[in-house]
Amino acid sequence: MFDYMTLRLIWWALLGALLVGFAILDGFDLGVAMLHPFVGRGDAQRRVAINTIGPVWEGNQVWFILGGGAVFAAWPPLYAVSFSGFYLAMLLVLLGFILRPVALTFRSKRESPRWRESWDWLFFVSGFVPSLIFGVAFGNLLQGAPFHFDQTMRVFYEGGLLGLLNPFALLCGLVSVAMLVMQGAAWLSVKSEGEVAARARRCGAFAAILLVLLISAAGLWTMVGVEGFRIASAVDPAGPANPLLKTVTREAGAWLDNYRAYPWMIAAPAAAYAGALLGALALALGGRVLALLATSLSVPGVVTMAGFSMFPFLLPSSTHPSQSLTVWDASSSKATLSLMLFVVVVFLPIVLAYTSWVYYVLRGPVSEAAVRRGDDYYY
């Protein structure tokens, strides 16, 4: 149905869509986790914040699993390098995801304020750590990871966790934290009432402005202080998947090549800035639905901005640039990509329809009075 080059492009776009879906949906879960100790004064108000995501956070987290599955099936070398080389970072993310349901479940097992406060801060950690690590990961993608292959395609990773926590990557981590706090605040402004919603709006407006400043700083650093990667040899987009058959050079400003070649890609940073600024304004003025729509425009803008900058690179190698993984040489076979695309076409609309139905059924805000009465709330 599609040729090999087109299938590779489709799966690159699908991987980006899964990351965007995760960043928007589980993004507000992580944002609420980071915000709830600050927007809630007392146990009832914190329970309001928690219960805004109580019925949906497990389903939202599935988008992360789908993304990992897509990498495993569509880009096997990328899966091998990233999930092995970034093992400790992935472990921290996994521990954060494990800590979230544990904190939500155990905080209500005792009435002791100290007990609940302790679990509340662990819930905060469960949101902050993955949010930071996700941004750090993108920062390291832009700089390249220290890996290479031998002639039998065995991968060797030469870095460690401390190497990932470099200044530029930490700046990207702060971008991620600010972005998800903004998204969580916009969600709370829609799904809560009273003091919780008011505090969330103030926090969200501040986070949105901070996001604009951090994006600007990271973008400037990328232009002048980060060496981008550029393919310097002929590449066959429909050729065999072998990352050892090309030549790659590094040069400051190379990550801007795609924006010069394809001006329409400017839409990504434009959406990131416009969504954040409009979200800040809407949050400050009390426009709840507009704020959520605006921040949900900014989040994919930030994510796709990195993807557009790197294309066709998926994971550059800082030690052996010519062995970097790209869309053209790190994919599964044409038959595998075709079969998986058929599965996606059949099942993804079902997932989207079911998800939309769930959010429709669970529409409406969570009130402090209802939480105090215990009206069928989980936590």
In this predicted model, what pLDDT tens digit does every residue of 206-220 receive, in sequence order? 999 999 999 999 999
Per-residue pLDDT reduced to its tens digit, 109-138: 888 889 999 999 999 999 999 999 999 999
Residue 311: what pLDDT? 95
- Cβ distance 290 to 274 under 8 Å? no
According to the model, what pLDDT value does residue 174 have? Answer: 97
- Report pLDDT for 378: 64
At 318 the pLDDT is: 92
Query: Euclidean distance between the first and final Cα of the chain, in Å?
Result: 49
What pLDDT, on the 0 to 100 scale, is given for residue 222? Answer: 93
Mean pLDDT across 45-63: 89
pLDDT confidence bin for 377, thresholds 50/70/90: low
| Selection from 132, 298, 283, 307 nearest residue 215 by Cα | 298
Q: Which of 137-146, 152-161, 246-255, 301-310 has the lowest mean pLDDT?
A: 152-161
- pLDDT at position 84 is 82
Read off the pTM: 0.93
Whole-number average pLDDT of the chain: 91
Residues 6+ apart with CB under 8 A from 287: 281
pLDDT of residue 160: 76
Tell whether the model's pLDDT for residue 317 goes beyond 90.
yes
- pLDDT, one tens digit per residue, over 287-304 is 999 999 999 999 999 999
Report the pLDDT averaged over residues 235-262: 91
What is the reported pLDDT for 115?
Answer: 92
pLDDT at 128: 97
CB atoms within 10 A of CB 263: 9
Report the pLDDT averaged over residues 331-340.
93
The pLDDT of residue 240 is 87
Q: Is the pLDDT of residue 376 over 70?
A: no
Q: Is the pLDDT of residue 327 over 70?
A: yes
Give the model's confidence band at 331: pLDDT under 50 very low, under 70 low, under 90 confident, else very high: very high
pLDDT in tens, 272-284: 999 999 999 999 9
